[in-house]
Structure formats: C-alpha cells, structure tokens
Homo-oligomer: A and B are copies of this chain.
Amino acid sequence: MSAKFASNQAGDRIRVLMKGYHIAVVGATGAVGVELLRVFERRSFPVASLRAIGSARSTGRSVRFHDDSILVEELTDRSFDNEINSEDVRGHRGLIANPNCTTAIALMAIYPLHRVFGIRRVFAASYQAVSGSGARAINELRQQVEDTSQNREMRSQIYPHPIAFNVLPHVDSFLESGYTKEEMKFQNEGRKIMHLPEFRASVTCVRVPVYRAHSVAISAEFEQPVSVERAREVLAKAPGLELVDEPQRNRYPMPLGVAEKDNCQVGRVRVDCAFENGLSFWVSGDQLLKGAALNAVQIAELL
C-alpha cells in the first residue's frame, strides 16, 4: 500500500489515500494505538483516511503510518460529532474507533460478556467527568470550587448550572424524545459496534464534579444463563480491561483509580435483581484513553 495523502480544504487532518475505511485511532501515541497502526500496515488494511487522536499531552506530537507522519489532534467529546452523524461514516463498519465516552467505556465490559452470554438489553447510568467537555470545563470546576471556598457565587459558562458540588442529568443536547444525544449514542453505536440491530439501551448520562475519568453503572440482560464466577473469568481476560472486584476489601473501580490509566476497570459484578439472565456491574475508565482500550477489542477482532 503506497502512502499518498492530500490535505483537504477544510484544513482538518483527514487525508484521502484510496477507497477504503475511514479510520480514527484514539490514543494514537499510546502502546495500543501504535500497535493498531502497525497491524493496519502489516495487513495492508485499506485505509481511506486516518486521524490520530490523543490526550492533551500528546497533541502536537505525530505518529508514523507507512511513510507519512500524522499530526496528533486532541480528543474531546466533540471530536467526532460531525462524522458520527454523517452518512459517509455511517456506511463503514467495525473499525471506526468510537469515541463516545459512556458507550466506549461500557462496551469494554459489555462486549466480552456479550460474546459469551449474548447481550439483549442494558440499563446504564453514567458518572461523567468534566474533562470530557475539554480544558475550559476543567477550569470551570476548579474556579467554582475556589469560589465556594471564598464564599463567592459560582459562575457557569460551559455548563448551564454549577457543576461543583452538584450533578447535572445533562450531557450533550436534548432531543425531542427527552433523551440527550449522548444517551442515544449508547444504543445506536452499541448496535453498530456489536452488529446487533435489536440491542436496546436505556441510558441516563450525568455530569459529576470529577476532573477526569468516567464511570457507568450497568445492568445487562443476556440470552444465556449467567453466573458471576464465569462473568468474572471472562472480564479478567478481556483486552483493555482490568477486573477490580473485591468489595469486602473496598476494592472497586473509581475515577481516581483509573485516571491516566490505559485500561478500563470493571467491578461490583453481581447477579441482577430484576433481570432473569442478568448481571450488574460498574465500569470506570479514563475517557481520554478509552479509545485505546476500545481499539484493543478491535485488534482482537481483527487478528
């Protein structure tokens, strides 16, 4: 495969190579991201365009792909909004690194369980950090915390209400149905990524006063009978995922435990009280690195 990129007029970093897949590698400078690029090269994977996405730390660095050097751009919640909704991307399957925070982190645990038990539907509630809204949101939380300690009134610009010492059931914009776009991505992107057009997801996305790393409480119904023991075995072996599940020793995933870690963590695994073949569990992941983790699953699929 020859490397012949051309910048497009919009000035973004999508480079057209040949008819093929539009690829975005999230966590492109990380161990998994680099590995994924090598896999594409080795297998001469048909790449039509390639975006390299990374955390603020990696922005400005570049990654090598064939003979070319790709500038790394910063990941935010908005990085893929246009593309996810465009028909151009919708036609492609399977290898788009899906950047939706809640979906990606939740699928790190749901997908390996699905391969064993067959997922039918999930209920999920998220606990999303402000870093998903970018650096200005981080500053807004920090400023509001300081305002509170100085007995000053909190001012809000990024979010419609103060986020410090508060939680907002509002991530992304509201649709006519009463759901947010973010909430519907879980079902829509979950269907695409798992190739399950019947998959149903009832989701509430909530912003919490956490600087970095998202968490998701999940109840999942499966086709097959489940057991906690077998589920823990499956999750412990899943790529990009770490099982942290010793509640009696106060060990479970939490934002401060996964921040700046490549792997997502899953814990609180238990038999669901309200589903027949159901499991409840809790996943935390650094949403700036979640793409890398999701890529790990996709590498596993690819190989």
Contacts of A160 in B (CB 8 A): 250
**Copies of this chain, whole number:** 2
- Provide the bound-state CA to CA distance between A218 and B169, in Å: 12
For chain A residues 274-289, which have a beta carbon within 8 Å of chain B?
Answer: 274-275, 278, 280, 282
The answer to whether A253 and B169 have CB atoms under 8 Å apart is yes
Residue among B125, B187, B269, B274 making CB contact with A273, cutoff 8 Å? B187
- Provide the bound-state CA to CA distance between A114 and B252, in Å: 34
The answer to whether A167 and B204 have CB atoms under 8 Å apart is no
Give chain A's interface residue range (CB within 8 Å of chain B): 35 or more
Closest to A120 in B: B274
A168 CB-CB contact with B under 8 Å:
yes
The answer to whether B169 and A252 have CB atoms under 8 Å apart is yes
In whole Å, how far is A276's beta carbon from the nearest beta carbon of chain B? 10
Given contacts A165-B210, A256-B161, A268-B169, contact A273 B217 (CB under 8 A): no
Contacts of A280 in B (CB 8 A): 202, 204
A146 CB-CB contact with B under 8 Å:
yes
A206 CB-CB contact with B under 8 Å:
yes
Residue among B166, B206, B274 making CB contact with A123, cutoff 8 Å? B274
Contacts of A127 in B (CB 8 A): 127, 167, 206, 208
Q: Would you call the interface of chain A mostly helix, strand, loop, or mixed?
A: mixed
The answer to whether A255 and B166 have CB atoms under 8 Å apart is yes
For chain A residues 28-58, which have a beta carbon within 8 Å of chain B?
Answer: none
Proximity string of chain A (102-124) to chain B, C-beta cutoff 8 Å, 1 when within and 0 when not: 00000000000000000001110
The answer to whether B215 and A167 have CB atoms under 8 Å apart is yes
A binding-site residues for B, Cβ under 8 Å: 121-123, 125, 127, 145-146, 149, 160-162, 165-170, 174, 177-179, 184, 187, 200-204, 206, 208-211, 215, 217, 219, 228, 247-248, 250, 252-257, 267-275, 278, 280, 282
Supplied contacts A169-B253, A204-B282, 14 more A-B pairs, CB within 8 Å: A125-B204, A127-B127, A149-B149, A160-B250, A161-B257, A165-B255, A165-B256, A166-B254, A177-B271, A178-B247, A179-B270, A201-B273, A201-B274, A206-B215
